[in-house]
Structure 1
Amino acid sequence: EKELERPEHLVVRPSGERLFARAWTGSMLGQNQLRLTLVVDPEEKEAERLGRAERLQELQGNPGKVRLRELRTELKDLVGKARGRRGFRVVPEKVEADELRDGRRLLFSTDVEMSAAEMCRAYFERDAIEKSFRTAKGPMSLAPIRYRSEVRLDAYATVLYLGLLLWSWEERKLRKKFPSRTLEDALWSLRDVSLVRIGSGKTVREFTTRLNDDQKELLRLLGGKGVLPVP
């Protein structure tokens, strides 16, 4: 891991997440000339290790019969038979071997000239495209067109493009400060924020939601100061 997780092997995904990747030419699946790239996602690795540790802790406690059965099925590769009332024990060597796979994936290509960064870009751009469609159908709530005329299709494509462009731009600004946070999560945190104006003419009073520190920071990052003054 120390050899791989070095600055010269750092690669940035289209989404902005940072990975470590190293490429070499070798053989696999009976094919001699393949470009192979080992990729490690530090955040994914940490999440998998914490999740495993939590399940192992629960397994060694008193989870109840049903949950114990579920945990033993999930962690069957990490435990062995043992004498005693419980009849099993966690095998440290198996846990260490399982940790070697955390956050890792192996990419391969028949183009032996590709660099690690190029292979990661080609692989993860597919995820970015799929995410765009999920975003359009999910948080952006762009429903399908009911009446399919050429004019409406052009308008729909324009709205979709501008919406996704704005969404990705705001998410990029957000991730400069919060690398693992999504725009959907940020907007959810701001869902109760509002500004009320009462009065007319020169006599107008404004009442705003009392913001916590997280909401203030999010509004600054997303350019909300022009809509809702942030103290």
Structure 2
Amino acid sequence: MFLKQVKVKGKPYYCIVKSVRIEGKPRHEHVKYVGSKEEVIKKLLKGDKAVMESMKVSQVKDQGEVDLLYRIAEKLELRSTINGHVVKTAGVDVGAQMVVLAINQCLDALALDNVDLWYHHTILEERLGIPFYSLSAENLCKAMDYIYPPIRDQEGEVIDARDNAMPIKKDLVEKLKDLFDIKLDALFYDITSTYFEGNNCIIARLGYSRDKKNGKKQILVGLVVTREYRFPLFYSVFEGSTSDMTTVSDTLKTLQEEFKVEKTLLVMDRGMMRPGNLEELDGSGFDYVCGLKKGEKAVKKVILEAEGLEDEENRVREDMSAVDMVREFAGKRRKLVVYKNHKQAKELKEERDIKLSRAMKELNEYAAKVNTGNYKKVEKVVAKVRKLKKGVSKFIKTDITVKKGRVRLLVKKLDDRVKEAEKLDGKYLLLCTDLGLPKEDVISAYFDKDGIEKAFRSMKQHGLRPVRSWTLNRVKASIFIGYLGQLLLSTLHYMLDKAGLKITPERALGYLKWQKKVVLESEETVVEKTSVPELEAREIIEKLETAKLL
């Protein structure tokens, strides 16, 4: 049996027929009248047995989450903006391919070899009108080369890349200003690492790995985002062994020269700071809030001198108190805010006390054994002592000597160092150049930077980690795609908030994930139907459309 279309007074209707032979000739025998196309769909959804048996599902395509991200990409004019800065005369345009890759980054983050099949099973193929076989891994790689065209040496090796991404990023920031009135008056800057599987990238180096992948080469990625909604402004790529502190100069230069930022509050982590950086930041004209490493003598001195951290009136959060002062620091009057995380301070003290107590007990027992024994190998005792002191070595003094050919060991707990550590537990110093900014606002600005860490996690989860065996230009292009993906998610975050939906972008996409487009076929009829979305998914789309955000 199959569904057949018939026309009644010029209008299409459907009935179920079956093939039979009458007097040796094939004929269609009427089984059941169904009605209009809408009636067909209704009966399918109600589970009408005859209608269901007359058709088969030929395709099921992802629609809900894919279509929402595509509509956001259209709102941002990603495709045309990218195409405005690359010249490609034949084949699928670069902008369309970057949009596909950015949406894939947000949802599945597949290897390039699998993107074409993923695309074929989504609504994107219909939206873009580009056949899936045009998005082969080879074509996608060639499209990436338009974003960062390779520069090769005489042997043909990629040694650098021209940057077509920067003007795209600048245009997108202007688009965000026009669409959403985003402000650049407060920006966050931080840096992360991503490791490599392969050896083809000339800037991959061994360095401090935030991914805990010691022994693997890496690159560093610096990212600047807005304080509100974490819209990404731009990223920078550095050699894997670059110190975080040395990246600040490039970031300031890009903000001023490329994005024409004249005044902003720049918020950075303590890993970015050194005396030279303070001088550069002072010369930039920007206000800034940054953490300072308490290992520095000047920083430790300020923290130890701070008073009032135990007073209830200085509570700024449930488990945090803060005091501020304006004083000379690093050659200039600055606002200094000392804060204490009381929960962390308690945990640090308890952990240290347990480790120190255990270490002293084991060391004293070992010292008694050494001092009454016939130990002659100093290196063996040194190795054992080092092992027992691990984690608390700065609080214990050990003296290993040799008398009359025998090793002797003395152990002493350094109480002064323990007391100083207790005074520093959970305490940190923030520096702010805006002398009038209340300490509560300084604390809020600094801890809001956790949002950039979420942006990094999102980019890594959506394809930035690990980077495969790629050349420099394609490494940079892969980061560009991650940047586009984060731009889509940040825009969705903004839209959800403005529509009064207090859910994360990831949660919203999760609700929409189950909305599919189903294609049913019989011998003569094709019926397409979008599955009914869940209540939450319908509410998301309805509120975004009502607020005219899509």
TM-score (norm 2): 0.25
Query: 8 Å contact 1:59–1:68 — kept in the other structure?
Result: no
Query: 8 Å contact 1:35–1:110 — kept in the other structure?
Result: yes
RMSD: 4.0
Find the partner of 1:20 among 314, 321, 343.
Answer: 321
Output the amino acid matched with 2:348: E
Distance 1:61 1:110, change over 3 A: same
Bigger RCO of structures 1 and 2 (CA < 8 A, at least 6 apart): 2
Matches within 5 A, 1:3-82: 3-12=308-317, 18-31=319-332, 33-62=333-362, 68-72=385-389, 74-81=391-398
Distance 1:69 1:28, change over 3 A: same
For residues 42-75 of structure 1, the C-alpha deviation after alignment (integer angstroms, 9 at most, x for no partner) is: 1111121122112212212338976741453543
Find the partner of 1:93 among 411, 416, 428.
Answer: 416
Output the amino acid matched with 1:25: V
Inter-partner Cα distance in structure 2 for 1:104 and 1:57: 23
Inter-partner Cα distance in structure 2 for 1:22 and 1:2: 7
TM-score (norm 1): 0.53
Deviation at 1:3, TM superposition (A): 2.6
Distance 1:43 1:78, change over 3 A: same
Matches within 5 A, 1:60-209: 60-62=360-362, 68-72=385-389, 74-81=391-398, 86-126=409-449, 128-134=450-456, 136=458, 142=462, 156-157=489-490, 166-167=503-504
For residues 128-172 of structure 1, the C-alpha deviation after alignment (integer angstroms, 9 at most, x for no partner) is: 21242255357xx5557x9x7xxx98865555665995259x9xx
**1:87 partner SS:** strand
Deviation at 1:86, TM superposition (A): 3.8
Inter-partner Cα distance in structure 2 for 1:93 and 1:25: 30
For residues 147-204 of structure 1, the C-alpha deviation after alignment (integer angstroms, 9 at most, x for no partner) is: x7xxx98865555665995259x9xxxxxxxxxxxxxxxxxxxxxxxxxxxxxxxxxx
Inter-partner Cα distance in structure 1 for 2:387 and 2:489: 47
The structure richer in strand per residue is 2
Output the amino acid matched with 2:361: G
Inter-partner Cα distance in structure 2 for 1:143 and 1:110: 37
Partner of 1:207: none
For residues 16-65 of structure 1, the C-alpha deviation after alignment (integer angstroms, 9 at most, x for no partner) is: x631001111112232x111111000111112112211221221233897
Deviation at 1:122, TM superposition (A): 1.6
Output the amino acid matched with 2:326: T
Inter-partner Cα distance in structure 2 for 1:2 and 1:19: 14
Inter-partner Cα distance in structure 1 for 2:350 and 2:502: 35
Distance 1:71 1:24, change over 3 A: farther
Inter-partner Cα distance in structure 1 for 2:346 and 2:493: 35
Distance 1:96 1:153, change over 3 A: closer
Inter-partner Cα distance in structure 1 for 2:422 and 2:348: 8
Query: 8 Å contact 1:40–1:104 — kept in the other structure?
Result: yes
Inter-partner Cα distance in structure 1 for 2:437 and 2:491: 34
**2:313 partner SS:** helix
Distance 1:40 1:157, change over 3 A: closer
Inter-partner Cα distance in structure 2 for 1:101 and 1:54: 18
Query: 8 Å contact 1:136–1:160 — kept in the other structure?
Result: no
Aligned identity (percent) is: 18
Distance 1:71 1:21, change over 3 A: farther
Distance 1:71 1:39, change over 3 A: farther
**1:8 partner SS:** helix
Deviation at 1:125, TM superposition (A): 1.2
Query: 8 Å contact 2:336–2:429 — kept in the other structure?
Result: yes
Distance 1:90 1:124, change over 3 A: same
The structure whose Rg is larger is 2
Deviation at 1:102, TM superposition (A): 0.4
Output the amino acid matched with 2:359: L
Can you give the 5+ residue segments of structure 2 that lack an aligned partner in the other structure? 1-305, 367-380, 402-407, 465-477, 508-550
Query: 8 Å contact 2:362–2:388 — kept in the other structure?
Result: no
Inter-partner Cα distance in structure 2 for 1:160 and 1:113: 31
Query: 8 Å contact 1:23–1:38 — kept in the other structure?
Result: yes
Query: 8 Å contact 1:21–1:37 — kept in the other structure?
Result: yes
For residues 66-118 of structure 1, the C-alpha deviation after alignment (integer angstroms, 9 at most, x for no partner) is: 67414535433312246895422112222111211100001112221122111
Distance 1:86 1:160, change over 3 A: farther
